[in-house]
A and B are shown apart, each in its own frame.
Chain A
Amino acid sequence: MSLSHYIALSLILCGIGLFGMLTRRNLLGIMLSVEVILNGANINFAAFAHFKAADPVAGAIFPIFVMAVSACEIAVALAIILSMYRHRKRLDVYRLEKLNG
């Protein structure tokens, strides 16, 4: 596999994730689609670090930061989902007009 194949793969993953974000109605499903997009971005980082070896170690470090930030994001988002569920028993984004709990 060459670099352009990996770029095409990450583009496809980004498209799949965007499609999921547009079609899902459940909040958890939207979080899942965001994970797919971040996965594609990480593959892109790793492929450039492997093939364009100007500074490969930095390219290997950036996905670790992405993973840490996405862990933070998922923790906060799931806490919000939990408290939202406790208040109104549904996670349908089309029925969440106001966010003041």
Chain B
Amino acid sequence: MSDIFIYMLVATLVMLSCFAVGLPNILHSALALIGSFMITAALYISLQIELLALAQIMVYIGGIVVFMLLIILLTTGLGVDDKRRKISFGKWMSSGFIIGLFLTSLLYFFSENDTGLADIITPKALPITIDQIGIRLLSTENGFIVPFEVISLLLLAALVGAVVLARKDVHIKKEES
């Protein structure tokens, strides 16, 4: 892919992320988040890591954002919950000032204490295939088998916890029936 195309993608990604953060209607921001995740998947493909692009589309867009959209539609009618939303201009300005200060101080720090990491010329990386990732993920030596199993335990615990939390309380059910 040519460079100018990737720059256009990145500009769209930043714009969509700003929309996802700043739009008053939260349903619209979730839709903008879907677009920004799509563009991130395209960036992963341009970085030659296809599995990440697939996982991005399947886990983030297919799982997380759809889940989020369901919850938005369940709790806030079409996302227009923010009628009493009064964020003053001063609060916006102060938040922007804090973030700008943070970013400029980070940039200043890293440009002062330059480790030269970004300038080292390394050989062009080969594309990372799905086979390599799978073998590395499940190999016992120098692999990631232990975090893999811990992640599965964490997923199980999170599922059980979510079910317990979202279940209707017993006394509420008694009142209804």
Contact = CB atoms under 8 A, between A and B. Distances in A.
B21 interface: yes
| Size bracket, chain A contacts | 35 or more
Interface residues of B, number: 82
Contacts of B151: 65, 68-69
Interface in A45-61: 46-47, 49-53, 56-58, 60-61
Nearest to A27: B75
Contacts, number: 207
A57 B128 contact: yes
Given A51-B125, A85-B75, A43 B64 contact: no
Nearest to A4: B118
B43 A71 contact: no
A91 B166 contact: no
Interface of B: 3, 6-7, 10, 13-14, 17-18, 20-22, 26, 29-30, 33, 36-37, 40, 43-44, 46-49, 51-52, 55-56, 59-60, 63-64, 67-68, 71-72, 74-76, 81-82, 84-85, 87, 91-92, 95-96, 98-100, 102-103, 106-107, 117-118, 120, 122-123, 125-126, 128, 132-133, 136-137, 144, 147, 151, 154-155, 157-159, 161-163, 165-166, 168, 172
7 contacts: A1-B10, A11-B103, A26-B81, A28-B26, A58-B136, A67-B59, A79-B163
Interface of A: 1-5, 7, 9, 11-13, 15-20, 22-26, 28-29, 31-33, 35-36, 39, 42-43, 46-47, 49-53, 56-58, 60-61, 63-65, 67-76, 78-83, 85-86, 90-92
